């Protein structure tokens, strides 16, 4: 039976994807790399350096930069991103998720955060939802980022649960793969075609609800 939920942050709880893309877009423009739909969705869920590599590789210029230069670009993106997320308020919790969190809590289900973001604790604080979670995975302490299972596997450990007792919620393809590889039950939020590997799909955060998840799983 299901005893806990592991939440992705960006795109599931927080409306922060627009800030990631705004900050990366500025870097891309400075480097004269055209922005695209593929980059917009490709950076979702993957870590900071992988996002930069995706952008550089899209223009075939990754080998033109030294490791130190790449670090500088990633740091500059993060400085800009941190400025943007400092404006977050509880209103930036994605639609329906305040209610969903309250519903899980009322049903004695435990929750943890499985985000690739090193800024996750700061964002949870700004959104004033930190208290719902027993813990937050520190992505700098796991071996591999999403799509590897490590982040979601660690999220189950934080809950002190077996993977099959955990439902993972994600908005990215990389994240759904991570949940599935960890042996947890995947819930995809967003385009069902793109997230076809998810066990259960919802079109938007507004549609996510415990009753439907229970019905799907005969739980
Ligand atoms: P940071 P999630 C991910 O968050 C974002 O979707 C992804 O675009 C970002 O590159 C990654 O966090 C790392 O974020 O630069 O703040 O460490 O979806 O896993 O909650
Ligand atoms: Mg996400």
48 lines ligand 1 (CB under 6 A): yes
Any idea how long the chain is? Answer: 219
Alpha-carbon distance of 146 to 46, in angstroms, equals 6
pLDDT at 170: 98
* Average pLDDT of the chain, as a whole number: 97
21 lines ligand 1 (CB under 6 A): no
Alpha-carbon distance of 140 to 47, in angstroms, equals 10
pLDDT tens digit string along 169-179? 999 999 999 99
pLDDT tens digit string along 55-96? 999 999 999 999 999 999 999 999 999 999 999 999 999 999
pLDDT at 131: 98
The stretch 7-36 carries a mean pLDDT of 97
The stretch 170-199 carries a mean pLDDT of 97
67-85 and 48-58 are packed helices; what angle lies between their axes, rounded to 10 degrees?
A: 110
Share of the chain above pLDDT 70, in %: 100
The stretch 121-129 carries a mean pLDDT of 98
User: Probe ligand 1: pick from 40, 47, 129, 187, max atoms within 8 Å of CB?
Assistant: 47
Which residue intervals of 46-168 are DSSP H helices?
48-58, 67-85, 97-106, 120-127, 150-159
Place of tokens 């979670």: 133
11 lines ligand 1 (CB under 6 A): yes
The stretch 7-26 carries a mean pLDDT of 96
How many angstroms separate the alpha carbon of residue 17 from the centre of ligand 1?
Answer: 8
Alpha-carbon distance of 59 to 172, in angstroms, equals 23
């Amino acid at each position: 039976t299901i005893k806990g939920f592991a939440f992705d942050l960006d795109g599931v709880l927080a409306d922060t994807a627009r800030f990631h893309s705004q900050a990366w877009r500025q870097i891309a423009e400075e480097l004269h790399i055209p922005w695209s739909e593929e980059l917009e969705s490709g950076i979702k869920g993957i870590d900071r350096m992988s996002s930069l590599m995706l952008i550089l590789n899209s223009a075939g210029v990754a080998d033109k930069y030294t490791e130190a230069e790449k670090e500088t670009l990633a740091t500059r993106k993060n400085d800009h991103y941190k400025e943007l997320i400092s404006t977050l308020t509880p209103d930036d919790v994605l639609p329906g998720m305040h209610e969903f969190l309250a519903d899980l809590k009322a049903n004695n289900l435990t929750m943890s955060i499985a985000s690739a973001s090193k800024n996750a604790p700061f964002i949870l604080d700004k959104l004033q939802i930190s208290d719902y979670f027993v813990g937050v995975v520190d992505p700098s302490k796991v071996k591999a980022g999403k799509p590897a299972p490590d982040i979601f596997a660690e999220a189950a450990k934080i809950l002190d649960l077996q993977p099959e007792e955990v439902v993972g919620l994600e908005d990215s393809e990389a994240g759904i793969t991570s949940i599935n590889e960890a042996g947890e039950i995947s819930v995809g939020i967003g385009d069902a075609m793109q997230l076809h590997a998810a066990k259960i799909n919802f079109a938007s955060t507004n549609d996510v609800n415990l009753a439907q998840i229970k019905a799907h799983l005969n739980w």
